[in-house]
Amino acid sequence: MMYEAILFAPLCAAALVALGARVLPRTVVHGLPILAVGLSAVLSIVALLEQLGGEPVRIKLLDWLSIGGFELSFGLLIDRLTALMACVVTWVSLAVHVYTVGYMRDDPGYARFFALIAFFTSAMLLLVMADNFMQLFVGWEAVGLASYLLIGFWFKRPSANFASLKAFLVNRIGDLGLLLGIALIGGAAGSLDYAVVFSGAPGLAEQQITVWPGVSLPALDLGCVLLFVGAMGKSAQMPLHIWLPDSMEGPTPISALIHAATMVTAGVFMVARMSPLFEYSPFALSLVLAVGATTALATGLVAIVQQDIKRIVAWSTLSQLGYMMAGIGVSAYSVAIYHLFTHAFFKALLFLAAGAVIVALHHEQDIRRMGGLCRRMPITYTTALIGTLALAGIPGTAGFFSKDALISAVTQSTGPVSAYAGWCLLAGVAVTAFYSARFLLVVFHGRETEAASHMTEREPRGRWMLGPLVFLAVPSLLIGWFTFQPVVLGGYFAGSLVNLAESGSGAPDLGAGTLDFFVHGLYSPVFLLAVLGGLSAWALYEWKPRWRRRAGPALRVPKRLLELGYGFDPLLERAVIPSAQGLARGAADQADARFIDGLLVNGLARTIRWGSGVMRRLQTGLLYHYAFVMVTAICLLIAWVILVLD
């Protein structure tokens, strides 16, 4: 029952809070989800410890579908990958739940928000613990539904409604790819069960599928590419990244949950879970590497010019997701998942620190109106500093161990796009350090602004908001020292993730141990690039700000391009949406009005009316009319018999 409790405890709490929102006292409204998620978090640690010394566990809960010889059940798969992901999801979610008590205390939708974030947590756990493709898809869609409801939580704001709808529709593109990939692979393998499909991967690699008469493609290549399209939507890889920055319209706690431990990590997790398939598809891995590396650098550059405190952190999430995908693209699945693991803590920390600043400044989010907050918010500043150092990958922090290992894996690989990917990730190190330092310097250092001088609380809302910040700061700073050796160097994921011998790059040379890797990182090019990026930000925003002002006119065009996010949103709003609306109107006018309504619906009614009119004229009620018809029919029948006999 332990594994079932991990999954169903948050779901039961969500249902109880939703049903009793009008009658339950506030302490129960937040206490019940916190206790449920806390129970799942503790049990996930127990599950992790069991997996360290045991074998994967499969639990069949019920039969879902049985058609002929095709059977599908609802079950749980608990292996080392599942256990680690469950720990990430539940512990970060627990911190967000506690933080929400302080952040949302004056919101009229208090109970609704707690019900939704508990449901969000259970949906992610369902996805993580699935043992077949169909259950994965159900969890996948449940996560999408929860994110739609939470991004648009403040539904009276038009911008929130637009952002939630945008996230929902963009993810439908990715979800269609995932569904087609599941259908293709399931049809080729004859099953949707992970164990059956993964064991048959070598045979799938030899199958061909006809996509057009005379045109065939490798079934596994096409299936893996379609699965990756699904991951591009959930994990916001370019060009399906446009929904993620707008998701900042939701309350800050849900921004932290989406960007750190749940929705955006679903795509990375899914591709890693499918490693037995992707290892037999070099083409798909090369595509993952190219898209991930491009996303890592391009979205990091956009973060440099953002003025909204939450959007800076949001664009940095896009960049870090690109790093994870790049690691998967060189078969370094364990390193990619390890970066997902560490990233969850320091990214949640940065979002919650940003939320504390927003609350303290009466919901001001423009960093140009901030400054000098380090003196008024020392605890928030210290935790934000730790999160920023981890994001920049400064040696000793959790982000250093995962990020440097991932970059080493990519730069040591020898694939067709490895050189391009390596340069993108190395350049991204300097970019990350630059916008991280800019975030810290502009918000917490410098001259105190008018908004800061009007603060009414030194550290906003006491332990409910500060406690989670301190809680997340500890693993952001220290967890790499305890987990790098067993997870990355010790083969923790053996049996959960698959690396073929010929891929090679999945096991980069990372040194003999944690201390050796740390010492090597102190004089590596990665650290030098991080220092260069941080010093550049310090020089432009603290030491010689006039340099930035002088360079402004010369950089006006690239700055504007970055502010527009490379034009994806304007293209969507001015070309794609009007074209789609025109197509929809044309379809409504022609297909719906003329064909469906005019021909099928009204036309059928007219035909029936005409036929009934004809039949009505034949039914006169006169005996001699009926006798005439009968005699005529008998004569015709006799004539037909004579002709046939002749």
Note the pLDDT of residue 506.
45
pLDDT category of residue 271 using cuts at 50, 70 and 90: very high
User: Residue 77 belongs to what H/E stretch?
Assistant: strand 70-78
- The predicted model gives 487-516 an average pLDDT of 71
Tokens at 45, concatenated = 């640690």
Residue 509 clears pLDDT 70, i.e. is over it: no
Return the percentage of the chain with pLDDT > 90, whole number: 21
CB 329 within 8 A of CB 292: yes
Residue-wise pLDDT tens digits, 400-429:
988 988 998 898 888 788 889 999 999 999
Note the pLDDT of residue 503.
45
Q: Which of 261, 241, 257, 254 is nearest to 340 (CA)?
A: 261
Which amino acid, one-letter code, is at 557?
Answer: V
Residue-wise pLDDT tens digits, 597-622:
767 777 778 888 888 877 777 777 77
pLDDT category of residue 186 using cuts at 50, 70 and 90: confident
Give the range among 37-51, 185-199, 465-479, 555-569 with minimum mean pLDDT. Answer: 555-569
Note the pLDDT of residue 35.
93
CB 352 within 8 A of CB 256: yes
Residue 504 clears pLDDT 70, i.e. is over it: no
Asked, as a colleague might, if the bond just before 508 is cis with ω within 30 of 0, I would say no
User: Residue 212 belongs to what H/E stretch?
Assistant: strand 208-212
Residue-wise pLDDT tens digits, 35-58:
999 999 999 999 998 888 778 888
**Is 425 strand, coil or helix?**
helix
Strands 57-67 and 215-218: unpaired
pLDDT category of residue 430 using cuts at 50, 70 and 90: very high
DSSP string, 374-406: HHH-HHHHHHHHHHHHHHHT-TTSHHHHHHHHH
Question: What letter would DSSP give residue 575?
Answer: I
**Is 211 strand, coil or helix?**
strand
- The predicted model gives 548-556 an average pLDDT of 76
Question: What letter would DSSP give residue 448?
Answer: P
CB 443 within 8 A of CB 373: yes
User: Residue 61 belongs to what H/E stretch?
Assistant: strand 57-67
Give the range among 109-123, 335-349, 559-573 with minimum mean pLDDT. Answer: 559-573
**Is 251 strand, coil or helix?**
coil
Q: Which of 408, 427, 174 is nearest to 299 (CA)?
A: 427
Note the pLDDT of residue 264.
86
Torsion of CA 172, 259, 439, 359, to 10 degrees: 100
Residue-wise pLDDT tens digits, 135-178:
899 999 999 888 888 888 888 888 888 888 888 888 888 889 99
Separation CA 97–CA 582 (nearest Å): 44
Give the range among 281-290, 349-358, 556-565, 617-626 with minimum mean pLDDT. Answer: 617-626
Q: Answer left, alpha or beta for residue 362, where phi above 0 means left and psi between -120 and 50 means alpha.
A: left
Note the pLDDT of residue 453.
65
Note the pLDDT of residue 502.
44
pLDDT category of residue 359 using cuts at 50, 70 and 90: confident
pLDDT category of residue 326 using cuts at 50, 70 and 90: very high
Residue-wise pLDDT tens digits, 437-478:
999 988 888 777 766 666 655 665 567 788 888 889 999 999
Note the pLDDT of residue 450.
65
Residue-wise pLDDT tens digits, 622-631:
787 788 888 8
For the chain, what is the mean pLDDT?
84
**C-alpha pair distances (Å), 60 with each of 47, 57, 72, 121, 500:** 17, 10, 10, 22, 30
Separation CA 329–CA 361 (nearest Å): 42
Residue 481 clears pLDDT 80, i.e. is over it: yes
User: C-alpha angle 478/482/485, rounded to 5°?
Assistant: 130
Q: Residue 351: how many CB atoms within 10 A of its CB?
A: 29
**Is 526 strand, coil or helix?**
helix
